[in-house]
Structure 1
Amino acid sequence: MKLTKYTHSCVRLEKDGRVLVLDPGNFSESAEALQSAEAVLVTHEHADHIDVPAVVDALRANAGLAVFAPARVTGQLQDKATGEAARIHAVNPGSTFQAAGFTIRSFGGQHALIHPQIPIVANIGYLIDDNVYHPGDSFVIPDGISVKTLLVPLHAPWSKSAEVLDFVIGVRAPRAFQIHDGLLNENGLKVVEGHVQRIGAKYGTEYTHLAARESVEV
């Protein structure tokens, strides 16, 4: 399949002419990523992972588009796109379903802790075709499977570099690319990616940086 990285945590997957989009947030080129998509997977409700107006517009413009997300996200979307409610589906961890010709497995359950005074929200990680794993805002490692392509949240208010590295080591995917890099400047990105590349290699993970809108076959 073809994987295209957009700014921050948005990723577009294409296979056999069909399109699946993950986390089209307001840090990303969401409207562009959503063009001709058949399905959208949303990990959680934070705006950098779902641009609600852009997704609502896409649902109204594209009668073939379906959205899969945690229940609070689907509720927000259904309130704004009542005519499209039947195409908006709530997802729980531990489920398997089909979307746009891809097989999806869901993992996790909650967002990583930012601070005890900041409420924790639901977060779903998605494994697509037993290949690409997008964890959203968490370091939950899928159980019982081997991930082939890992999307690594490089930097966030809820993480530190040691946790990023332990996540890469724990998953041990052969290939890894970055997500959640929208808060890093060029210098910070080099520092964090240098650690991931060097330490990940010790455990069999080849890490590669993707620029915004860059594509790769996975």
Structure 2
Amino acid sequence: MKLTKYTHSCVRLENEGKTLVLDPGGFSEVEKALDGSDYIFITHVHPDHFDSERVIAFLKENPEVPLYAPQAVIDEVSKELPEAKVQLADAKETIELEGFTLKTYGGQHALIHPLVPTIDNVGVLVNDNVFHPGDSFTVPHGIQAKTLLAPIHAPWNKMSEVIDFVISVRAPQVYPIHDSLLADNGRNLIETQVTNLTADYGVTYAHLDPEESVEL
């Protein structure tokens, strides 16, 4: 399976001739990520994970492509494009697609502040390999992910929580997501600490630049 990281939390996965795009948000190269895609999965409705204008424009041009997401995303898409192929993605589900098996976890966005209402967020494990938590520190239960996409910086997290999350998931390979608000100095600091402090737990952390690909 081929993984391509785009800016922030958008990831493109290719397997057996099929393409799945996760979280094509407003900070990402949405058109490039979605080009030729067969499926879209969105973890939650926040615009840095779901660029509604560009995703809906893509779905208008590609009406055969299904979108899987929590209800708030489905409501927004259906309002603008009633004929879109949308399917609710709740936690603790298994979704079988050609080339991909999706298992969902969690259900709630991490707390930003007590004054900010929480929303639905669904983490997704793809092919028992790649875990994208969206905006949460949900640890998938009943299975150990092989590859973790770790949100290394956000208004709702701090570095110690990122490190504890990476250790808890215990995936052998970790790549960063949710990093577009970081300047280079801040990114280097966080990545160095995550690399050094999780290595004793069997974790290998590796940086990916936007549009860089790896084979899993």
TM over 0.5: yes
Cα deviation for residue 126 of structure 1 reads 0.2
Percentage of pairs with the same residue: 49
Contact 1:20 1:100 in 2 (8 A): no
Which residue of the partner structure matches residue 121 of structure 2?
123
1:214 counterpart = 2:212: yes
Which residue of the partner structure matches residue 19 of structure 1?
19
Which residue of the partner structure matches residue 104 of structure 2?
106
What is the CA–CA distance in structure 2 between the aligned matches of 1:111 and 1:37, rounded to whole Å?
A: 26
Which residue of the partner structure matches residue 154 of structure 2?
156
Among 176, 179, 198, the residue aligned to 2:174: 176
Q: Structure 1's 100 and 77: CA in aligned 2 closer, same or farther, altered over 3 A?
A: farther
Q: Gapped runs of 5+ residues in structure 2?
A: none
What is the CA–CA distance in structure 2 between the aligned matches of 1:17 and 1:54, rounded to whole Å?
A: 24
Q: Gapped runs of 5+ residues in structure 1?
A: none
Which residue of the partner structure matches residue 205 of structure 1?
203
Among 142, 145, 148, the residue aligned to 1:147: 145
What is the CA–CA distance in structure 1 between the aligned matches of 2:63 and 2:198, rounded to whole Å?
A: 42
What is the CA–CA distance in structure 2 between the aligned matches of 1:46 and 1:67, rounded to whole Å?
A: 16
The root-mean-square deviation of aligned C-alpha atoms, in Å, is 0.7
Which residue of the partner structure matches residue 2 of structure 1?
2
Contact 1:93 1:109 in 2 (8 A): yes
Letter of the 2:163 counterpart? L
- For these two proteins, the number of residue pairs brought into alignment is 216
Aligned partner of residue 83 in structure 1, secondary structure: coil
1:147-205 Cα deviation digits (max 9, x unpaired): 00000000000001110000000011110000000110000000000011111111001
1:66 counterpart = 2:66: yes
What is the CA–CA distance in structure 1 between the aligned matches of 2:198 and 2:42, rounded to whole Å?
A: 27
Contact 2:17 2:99 in 1 (8 A): no
What is the CA–CA distance in structure 1 between the aligned matches of 2:16 and 2:98, rounded to whole Å?
A: 10
Which residue of the partner structure matches residue 88 of structure 1?
86
The TM-score, its normalising length taken from structure 2, stands at 0.98
What is the CA–CA distance in structure 2 between the aligned matches of 1:125 and 1:143, rounded to whole Å?
A: 12
Letter of the 1:113 counterpart? L
What is the CA–CA distance in structure 1 between the aligned matches of 2:63 and 2:44, rounded to whole Å?
A: 23
Cα deviation for residue 83 of structure 1 reads 2.1
Letter of the 1:83 counterpart? E
The TM-score, its normalising length taken from structure 1, stands at 0.98
1:85-111 Cα deviation digits (max 9, x unpaired): xx1111110000123420000000100
Aligned partner of residue 74 in structure 2, secondary structure: helix
Moved over 3 A (4+): none
What is the CA–CA distance in structure 2 between the aligned matches of 1:64 and 1:198, rounded to whole Å?
A: 45
What is the CA–CA distance in structure 2 between the aligned matches of 1:194 and 1:38, rounded to whole Å?
A: 36
Aligned partner of residue 189 in structure 2, secondary structure: helix
Aligned partner of residue 25 in structure 1, secondary structure: coil
Contact 1:42 1:68 in 2 (8 A): yes
1:3-58 Cα deviation digits (max 9, x unpaired): 00000000000012210000000000011100111111100010000000111111
Cα deviation for residue 60 of structure 1 reads 1.1
Cα deviation for residue 64 of structure 1 reads 2.5
Contact 1:58 1:65 in 2 (8 A): no
Letter of the 2:144 counterpart? S
